[in-house]
Amino acid sequence: MTANAALKARRDRTIGPYSPLFYDEPLQFVRGSGVWLEEANGERYLDGYNNVPHVGHANGRVVAALAEQAATLNIHTRYLNERVVDYSERLLSTFAPRLDRILFGNSGSEANELALRIARQLTGSTGVIVSDYSYHGTTITLAELTTGLRTREPLGPHVRTLRIPDLDRDQRPEAEVLAETLAELDAAIASLLDEGYGVSASLFDPLFSTEGMPRVPEGLVAGIVERVRRAGGLVIADEVQSGFGRTGGWMWGHDFAGMTPDLVTMGKPMGNGHPMSAVVTSEAILDEFGSRNEFFNTFAGNPVSAAVGEAVLLEMEAEGLMDRAKRLGAEARAEFDRLAATHDFVRAAKGTGLFLGLDFAVDGVPAPELAKRVVEGMKARNVLISRIGRDESVLKVRPPLAFGEAELPILLGALTDSLSDI
């Protein structure tokens, strides 16, 4: 038995065999630096997948800030702390002026749970609209609206789902696809109103990451926002995957999508691996919620988290990571487009910034097995990527934002070779 197989057996006997692991033969990383990871066997892997280590694995600035603050003071949030306020101001300055208040949490799930709670209280309604292939977190509320992952809880009676169209798959005229989707939304809203749930919120990832980064019709996001607001609901943008410059050129996925939500939730990259999340909203919404609830979260937004979050923002700025994501993303996307055009089993290139994919299909039928072979082929070439989408047929290439010029040819070379194997 290999060392990794032995560790997996111990893991199965403790954590259990149900907690997912990537790859047919799972990897065990023992060290990380920048965009490189070292496996227990000493081999180096290029990280083309992980968005949590946003500014790079074991980033020096983040580690120093964490250690320095932890060695000075860490305390819950019921005392004044300048660093927490400094960080809040810095983070809020990246939003449109209307989004000027922040509530901290410890995970993306917590942030989405809180955003939904706020929306319920403000609207007096419980109805929620989500995409029909999405994931927003682990709580009961979120399990009842999970459509993109196996959950035992059935969809809540107050939940309606919307199929997000993909113009790379649907060959009909764009206007027809848009009209059909918005009519579906109208019907969903009408049914929530008819059954007395009302509309408290829509909850979407502005990039539709889990859905496989569909190419949506122009006007879809604006149409959703307009209809949800008209029905009295709030618009929540789940930026757990799409935020912090991922799209290249835009700090937030909702800016990329051209809309201003009522509530923005964020997590994963925010603390570069340190567990932290937030809900950003307006003064009016916070006043409504804050004045009616004694809301307090022990660990959320503590000084160490603030130091880490601040270091992430400073590092992004110092290294120009958003601009780099835009530049490298455009370069990579051009190559992905070329690969799509030259391989008949690749239907389309997907994504923007440093979140890219290739959608595999044979004779118009999604081909997840080919996507899986490429993911394993990349692994054999020591490059990490994964798959997404309702058919798991879309490659998920979403490296740390610290990904650099030197690494791009390595990733693209491994991808080209892995496609040639098929």
Ligand X SMILES: Cc1ncc(COP(=O)(O)O)c(C=O)c1O
Contact between 138 and ligand X per CB under 6 A:
yes
**Please, what's the b/e burial string for 186-212 (b: 16 or more CB within 10 A of its CB; e: otherwise)?**
eebbeebeeeebbbbbbbbbbbbbbbb
Q: Does 312 engage in binding with ligand X (CB under 6 A)?
A: no
Residue number with the shortest CB distance to ligand X? 108
Q: Does 238 interact with ligand X (rule: CB under 6 A)?
A: yes
Span 243-302, contacts to ligand X by CB under 6 A: 267
Q: Which of 54, 57, 101, 136 binds ligand X (CB under 6 A)?
A: 136
Residue among 47 and 238 whose Cβ is closer to ligand X: 238
Name the 3-class secondary structure at 160: strand
394 binds ligand X (CB under 6 A): no
* CA gap 149, 135 in Å, rounded: 7
Nearer to ligand X (CB atom), residue 355 or residue 360: 355
Please identify, using beta-carbon distances, which residue of 81 and 109 lies nearer to ligand X: 109
115 binds ligand X (CB under 6 A): no
The values of phi and psi at residue 243, to 5°, are -90, 180
How many residues contact ligand X, by CB under 6 A?
Answer: 13
CA atoms within 13 A on the CB side of 300: 20
109 binds ligand X (CB under 6 A): yes
Q: Report 88-107 residues binding ligand X (CB under 6 A).
A: 107
Q: Which stretch binds ligand X (CB under 6 A): 5-13, 25-33, 69-77, 108-116?
A: 108-116
60 half-sphere exposure, CB direction, 13 A CA radius: 2
Instruction: Verify binding: residue 208, ligand X, rule CB under 6 A.
Output: no
Closest CB to ligand X among residues 241, 393: 241
Stretch that binds ligand X, among 117-125, 220-228, 235-243, 292-300 (CB under 6 A): 235-243
Question: Within the chain, how many helices (H) and strands (E) appear?
Answer: 13, 16
Three-class secondary structure of residue 227 per DSSP: helix
Structure tokens at 125: 């309604």
Region for residue 232 given its phi and psi (left: phi exceeds 0; alpha: psi -120 to 50; beta: otherwise)? left
Q: How far is the CB of 172 from ligand X (least distance, A)?
A: 28
User: Which of residues 32, 137, 233, 301 is near ligand X by CB under 6 A?
Assistant: 137
In whole angstroms, what is the distance from residue 203 CA to residue 394 CA?
22
Q: Tell how strand 128-131 and strand 159-162 pair up.
A: parallel
* Contacts to ligand X by CB under 6 A: 107-109, 112, 135-138, 205, 238, 240-241, 267
